[in-house]
Structure 1
Amino acid sequence: MAFGGNPVFRGKTFKGAVATAQPPVPHAQDQSPYVKGQNPYGANPYGQGTYGQAPYGQARFQQPMSADQLDALYRSPAASPAETGRMTYDDVIVKTLACLGFVVVGAAVTLAVPAGAAMGLTLLGAIGGFVLAMVNTFKREPVAGLILAYAGLEGLFLGGLTRLIDAFAKGVGFQAVLGTLVVAGVTLGLYKSGKVRATPGLAKFLMIALVSYLAFSLVNVVIMFADPGMGAWGLRSVPVLGIPLGVIVGLFAVVLAAISLIFDFNSVEQGVRAGAPRRYAWTAAFGLTVTLVWLYTEILRLLAIFNSND
């Protein structure tokens, strides 16, 4: 079972819930010995004990089930996952939309307030979002309030970042939102069609690529502080065959985020199939939100670098 590079799905919280999930309780027709023609503990199926004695725990006057009652029991629908307290796709979708709604509200706040307040809210969102991301990732049980608070703080950060970049590259915010929706939609469509799968080989590639990208990003941050003359984007501003390195790296990062989404979808599917407890739909929604926030950030930076080099 491949869980990809998202620490939310690779961590003990969600991964453990899937591994230890108990199958849904069988419906009555699966438990009834009459349906399968079995006689439990040697009891007479018509409510009478062997040699005229009542079965253990049953009264002598228990009436036998009629053929119509047995048929109705057999044909009755099985309990749905929601009725048995299991995670469903609908749960994950609704909770993910709730998280994204909080992201949008947080972003709207930062975009609406004066510039000075926006900078403070952006800093609060960056630090608070990171702290709650760590808390929610490693917390043993998902807490809806903390997950929604993370989404709201990320919204503050993304709103401030979008406002800052939009100051010199008009319209990139809307383009980044549209690009995120398109990439996420296409990725989901490809996954549902079976054209792309979360294979172990793809998981290994993703992990190696993520580590390489993280190493490049850390080196770039150090160079940006050590040599401010290289520009606002550091190594990303260096041209390669006439194309800014940031555009090439940005496209690579968007592909990595899309692959991470594939593994997120696979993790959600595994959780639903395994019958994970319903509360872990919040964990799945949190994991999807983390990846979508990353995807939006990469597309926003890619568009900013592209526009700044026009």
Structure 2
Amino acid sequence: MQQQSNNPFFKNKEFNSAPQTTYYNADGSPANVIDYNDTMTVNGAMAKTAILFGLLLAGALVPFYLIAQGMNFYTPAIVSFVIALIIGLSVGFAPKQSRYLAPAYALFEGVVIGSISILFEVYVQPGIVLQAVGGTFVTFIVCLLLYRFRVVNVTERFKSVVIAATMALFIYYLVSMVVSWAFGITLFHHGNSLISIGFSIFVIVLAALNLFLDFDMIEEGAERRLPKYMEWFSAMGLMMTMIWLYLEFLKLLAKLNRD
């Protein structure tokens, strides 16, 4: 059985369906016709990923502008979070709308990420945001090059291990939240102990491994000639993994800078 990316966007049924239109040669054999204006390509998906990150950065600057003007950024952050959540769920159920909604999602998610970044910048240590951004993009480039030159081969075993580990991680996070809310118990991944720091490093590595799965799903979607709008859908999913990676870098750096 073929394993898929753990990113919920890449689990969408659209990635399991190929175009139904079939063309034939003069002798009646199926013809391999590729219309790059109507089908997904790797370059198209990566270009749209770059566009979404530009919009994400624009949205992230909004809270910093509000702070500079002496205005409250908490309300815009909460409203943006709700809107981004609604858009994300909507696109998950209707991928065809991603071409219209993905840019809006990037903008509103940017406001949320910018607001979180301000909290770390103010209450943890100045400069921590730039460090986290640098770590995130270096990790992305390294993973992309390793995948591009096939230094890392995304085999079925590789996929199954990464997916199982990621599912286990999110189950742990869920249990941690329940235990914290119900009993006020803080589990070991909080604080700045060596175990906690090691845990954060493990999560960052796991998030990076998920990038390989995302790259593989994008390449597979292009090979299967999925509809053009899947480039936006794929870009949105890849951006989600990058956001996860960035937040994990923030948490690790916060632990390293904590007294």
TM-score range, shorter chain: 0.7 to 0.9
Q: 1:223 to 1:155 in 2, by over 3 A?
A: same
Q: Are residues 1:133 and 2:88 paired? A: yes
The answer as to 2:24 corresponding to 1:3 is no
1:149 partnered with 2:104:
yes
160, 173, 193: which one aligns with 2:149: 193
Pick from 236, 252, 262: which aligns with 2:202?
252
The alpha-carbon deviation at position 297 of structure 1 amounts to 1.1
- The number of aligned residues is 252
Alpha-carbon distance between aligned partners in 2 of 1:220 and 1:308, rounded to the nearest angstrom: 21
Deviations 1:200-227 (A, max 9, x none): 2122212221222112222333444457
SS in 1 for 2:92: helix
Distance 1:285 1:140, change over 3 A: closer
Match of 1:51 in 2: none
Specify whether residues 25 and 297 from structure 1 end up closer, same or farther in structure 2 by C-alpha distance, changes over 3 A only: farther
2:160 pairs, out of 204, 207, 221, with 204
Once the two structures are superposed, residues 246-290 of structure 1 have per-residue CA deviations (whole angstroms, 9 ceiling, x without a partner) of x22211111111111101111111111111121211111111111
Take 1:98 and 1:170, find their aligned partners in 2: how far apart are those partners?
28
Of the two, which has the highest radius of gyration?
1
- Given that residues 136 and 242 in structure 2 are in contact (C-alpha distance below 8 angstroms), is that contact kept between their aligned partners in structure 1? yes
1:288 maps to 238
Contact residue 34 and residue 225 of structure 2 kept, 8 A: no
Structure 1 residue 126 displacement after superposition: 2.5
Where in structure 1 do 4 or more consecutive aligned residues deviate above 6 Å? none
Contact kept, 8 Å, 1:24 with 1:81, in 2: the verdict is no
Q: 2:188 — aligned with what?
A: 235
Determine the structure 2 residue equivalent to 1:67. none
Task: Kindly report which structure 2 residues correspond to 1:1-310, keeping only aligned pairs within 5 A, or say none.
Answer: 1-13=2-14, 15-16=15-16, 19-22=17-20, 25=23, 31=25, 81-83=35-37, 85-114=38-67, 117-167=72-122, 168-225=124-181, 235-238=188-191, 243-245=194-196, 247-309=197-259
Distance change >3 Å, CA 163–CA 194, structure 1 → 2: same
TM score, norm. by length of structure 1: 0.73
Separation in 2 of the partners of 1:306 and 1:179? 14
Query: 1:151 deviation in Å?
Result: 0.9
Alignment RMSD (CA, Å):
2.5
Distance 1:200 1:229, change over 3 A: closer
The aligned amino acid for 1:173 is V
Q: Separation in 2 of the partners of 1:209 and 1:94?
A: 30
Secondary structure of the 1:252 match is helix
Q: Structure 1 pair 198/142, CA: closer, same or farther in 2 (3 Å)? A: farther
Checking the alignment, whether the CA contact within 8 Å between 1:9 and 1:287 is kept in structure 2 is yes
Aligned to 1:69: none
**CA pair 4-301 structure 1, distance change in 2 beyond 3 A:** same
Which moves more between the two structures, 138-147 or 249-258? 138-147
Distance 2:141 2:192 in 1: 32
Write the distance in 1 (CA, Å) between the matches of 2:191 and 2:55: 37
Gaps of 5+ in 2: none
Structure 1 unaligned segments of length 5 or more: list them: 34-39, 41-77
Identity of aligned residues (%): 26
* Contact 2:9–2:233 (Cα < 8 Å) also in 1: yes
> Normalised by the size of structure 2, how large is the TM-score?
0.87
Distance across 2 between alignment mates of 1:296 and 1:132: 21
Residue aligning to 1:48: none
Cα pair distance change 1:274/1:111, threshold 3 Å? same
Higher relative CO (Cα under 8 Å, sequence separation at least 6) belongs to 2
